[in-house]
């Protein structure tokens, strides 16, 4: 059995870049349902890997809401799940909903809490994530953070600063 050599990461990124450059034509053609799924797959890969440059290239010629709707989870939830703060900032600039939920009721803030990303929790709170929502299990976000000291402290500091008027 002969093993086929795997493409280098640069080759993969170049292929993704080619797809991103052509996305305006794909989106305007009206025949891109399969292609929009490919774009969504590439977008998800860029988000998970924190590739801001390639994601920016893709988003320059995209219909963000259409691609976002094709993802397995909303782009911002994926970015928060992976603690990709620069990606979160970019997606917010592009109109992502800070409190959008996935099909399970998970928001970006809850994803960051569950995955132990205190800096991401702080970023999401600073840009307007709603910490008063309940998790799919019916718990407050503070209760969800109870097993994670760094995230719990971040949440407590946020509530302290809001109650003291800072």
Domain shared by 49 and 123, yes or no: no
Tell me, yes or no, whether 93 and 146 share the same domain. Answer: yes
> What pLDDT is attached to residue 89?
97
pLDDT digits (tens, 9 = 90+) for 41-87: 999 999 999 999 999 988 887 677 778 888 889 999 999 999 999 99
Calpha distance 86→84 (Å, rounded): 6
Best CA proximity match to 141, nearest among 129, 153, 133: 133
Instruction: Please list the ranges in the chain whose pLDDT falls under 70.
Output: 1-34, 62, 164-166
- According to the model, what pLDDT value does residue 99 have? 97
Structure tokens belonging to residue 46: 């860029």
Is residue 40 in some structural domain?
yes
Are 89 and 138 within one domain? yes
pLDDT reported for residue 27? 47
- CA angle in degrees (0–180, nearest 5) for 48-89-87: 15
**What is the domain-level CATH number for residue 94?**
1.25.40.20
* Position 4 in a domain: no
**Distant-in-sequence, close-in-space partners of 109: CB < 8 Å, separation ≥ 6:** 80, 99, 121, 124, 125, 129, 130, 131, 133, 141
The reported pLDDT for the residue numbered 31 is: 45
Cα–Cα dist 24/8, whole Å: 27
Check residue 162 and give its pLDDT.
Answer: 83
For residues 30 and 106, state if they share a domain. no
Residue 31: give the domain boundaries: 10-72
The model's pTM? 0.76
> Same domain, yes or no, for 80 and 67?
no
Residue with tokens 């799924």: 37
Spell 112-124 as b/e; 16+ CB within 10 A means b: bbbeebbebbbbb
The verdict on 84 and 152 lying in the same domain is yes
Using CA atoms, how far apart are residues 60 and 75, in angstroms rounded to an integer? 16
Task: Please indicate, yes or no, whether residues 44 and 112 belong to a single structural domain of this protein.
Answer: no
């Amino acid at each position: 059995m002969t093993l086929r050599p795997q493409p280098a990461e640069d080759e993969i990124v170049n292929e993704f870049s080619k797809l991103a450059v052509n996305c305006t034509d794909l989106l305007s053609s009206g025949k891109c349902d399969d292609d929009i799924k490919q774009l969504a797959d590439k977008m998800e890969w860029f988000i998970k890997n924190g590739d801001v440059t390639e994601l920016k290239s893709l988003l320059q010629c995209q219909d963000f809401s259409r691609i976002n709707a094709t993802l397995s989870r909303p782009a911002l939830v994926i970015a928060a799940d992976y603690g990709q703060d620069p990606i979160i900032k970019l997606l917010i600039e592009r109109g992502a909903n800070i409190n959008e939920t996935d099909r399970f009721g998970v928001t970006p803030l809850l994803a960051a809490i569950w995955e132990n990303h205190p800096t991401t929790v702080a970023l999401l709170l600073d840009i307007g994530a709603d910490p008063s929502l309940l998790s799919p299990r019916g718990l407050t976000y503070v209760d969800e953070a109870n097993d994670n000291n760094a995230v719990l402290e971040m949440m407590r500091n946020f509530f302290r600063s809001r109650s003291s008027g800072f």
